[in-house]
């Protein structure tokens, strides 16, 4: 199972004196459940972007199992992410006008044109697991809690080894938030996947095995909390 190591990672924005993030060293082991917390503007989203190869740091390495993902070209990095990473967004980002099952299958189908029967079966299983049975219901008509559950099914359908989520419960009511927390922990646990969430939600934070606190671009504390 992959673990990740960051070395001397800095993201700088032209015109800003201080780097947006400055992480000399950070390791996350395979299967860990990590909560990233910190004030707004601390660099949490930037850190996740860098971790999964969505944003190239100005300096440093991001090494997943001996592969520095920024040594790969863009297409290979996309391919690596498609194979290894599942992402859940705060605002869900489902595709309106498409059915629930289509939402789960679309990204992979854009990669391989046909989704395999196995992939389809897994999508249906996952959707059932997260409590959705009307597979052709237009995603735009779902409740917010349902939307995030579909998004979780979408993130986990490809059996990723890393699941990242940026404030996945922030725009949900308490009940939906708890359901989402439980699903994230359960499903990534059953895959043995590493789970990294950015959150201000204390119950989601408590469900993690480790907390990273960031401030002004630095990782201030990084401790296990079991």
Ligand X SMILES: Nc1ncnc2c1ncn2[C@@H]1O[C@H](COP(=O)(O)OP(=O)(O)OP(=O)(O)O)[C@@H](O)[C@H]1O
From the list Mg ion, ligand X, other proteins, none, which binds 33 (C-beta under 5 to 8 Å, kind-based)?
A: none
Distance CA(141)–CA(168), nearest Å, equals: 19
Query: Closest approach of Cβ 89 to ligand X, in Å?
Result: 12
Query: Closest approach of Cβ 43 to Mg ion, in Å?
Result: 9
Query: Closest approach of Cβ 23 to Mg ion, in Å?
Result: 16
- DSSP strand pairing (33-37 vs 194-198): parallel
H helix or E strand, kind and range, residue 59? strand 59-64
Report if residue 134 touches other proteins, rule: CB under 8 A: no
Residues forming contacts to ligand X in the complex (CB under 6 A) are: 13, 20, 38, 40-46
- Given the complex with ligand X, which of 98 and 170 has the nearer CB atom? 170
- Given the complex with other proteins, which of 42 and 85 has the nearer CB atom? 85
Buried b (16+ CB within 10 A) or exposed e, 121-132: ebbbebbebbeb
Size of the site for Mg ion (CB under 5 A): 1
Spatial strand order of the sheet with 85-88 comes to 85-88, 162-166, 194-198, 33-37, 210-215, 218-224
From the list Mg ion, ligand X, other proteins, none, which binds 89 (C-beta under 5 to 8 Å, kind-based)?
A: other proteins
Distance CA(130)–CA(186), nearest Å, equals: 11
- Given the complex with ligand X, which of 43 and 145 has the nearer CB atom? 43
Residues 30-59 that bind other proteins (CB under 8 A): 45, 48-49, 52, 54-55
Work out which of 14, 110, 117, 226 binds other proteins, going by CB under 8 A. 110
Report if residue 178 touches other proteins, rule: CB under 8 A: no
Residue 184 exposed, middle or buried by CB count within 10 Å (0-12, 13-18, 19+) = buried
Residues 9-68 that bind Mg ion (CB under 5 A): 45
Report if residue 106 touches other proteins, rule: CB under 8 A: yes
Distance CA(153)–CA(162), nearest Å, equals: 14
From the list other proteins, Mg ion, ligand X, none, which binds 67 (C-beta under 5 to 8 Å, kind-based)?
A: none
Among the listed residues 79, 42, 73, 29, the one whose alpha carbon sits nearest the alpha carbon of residue 218: 42
Structure tokens at 217: 């671009």
- Given the complex with ligand X, which of 14 and 226 has the nearer CB atom? 14
Binding site for Mg ion (CB under 5 A): 45
């Amino acid at each position: 199972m992959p673990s990740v190591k960051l070395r001397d990672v800095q993201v700088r924005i032209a015109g800003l004196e201080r780097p947006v993030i400055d992480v000399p060293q950070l390791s996350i082991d395979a299967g860990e459940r990590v909560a990233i917390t910190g004030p707004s503007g601390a660099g949490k989203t930037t850190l996740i972007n860098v971790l999964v190869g969505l944003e190239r740091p100005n300096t440093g390495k991001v090494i997943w199992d001996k592969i520095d993902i920024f040594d790969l070209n863009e297409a290979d990095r996309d391919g690596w992410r498609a194979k290894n990473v599942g992402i859940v967004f705060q605002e869900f980002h489902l595709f309106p006008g498409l059915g629930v099952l289509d939402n789960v299958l679309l990204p992979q189908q854009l990669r391989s044109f046909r989704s395999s029967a196995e992939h389809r079966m897994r999508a249906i299983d996952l959707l059932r697991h997260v409590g959705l049975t009307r597979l052709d219901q237009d995603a735009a008509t779902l409740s917010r809690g349902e939307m995030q559950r579909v998004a979780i099914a979408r993130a986990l359908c490809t059996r990723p080894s890393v699941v990242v989520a940026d404030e996945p419960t922030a725009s949900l009511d308490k009940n939906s938030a708890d359901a989402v927390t439980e699903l994230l922990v359960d499903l990534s646990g059953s895959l043995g996947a590493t789970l990294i969430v950015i959150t201000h939600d204390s119950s989601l934070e408590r469900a993690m095995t480790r907390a990273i606190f960031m401030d002004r671009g630095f990782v201030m504390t990084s401790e296990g909390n079991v």
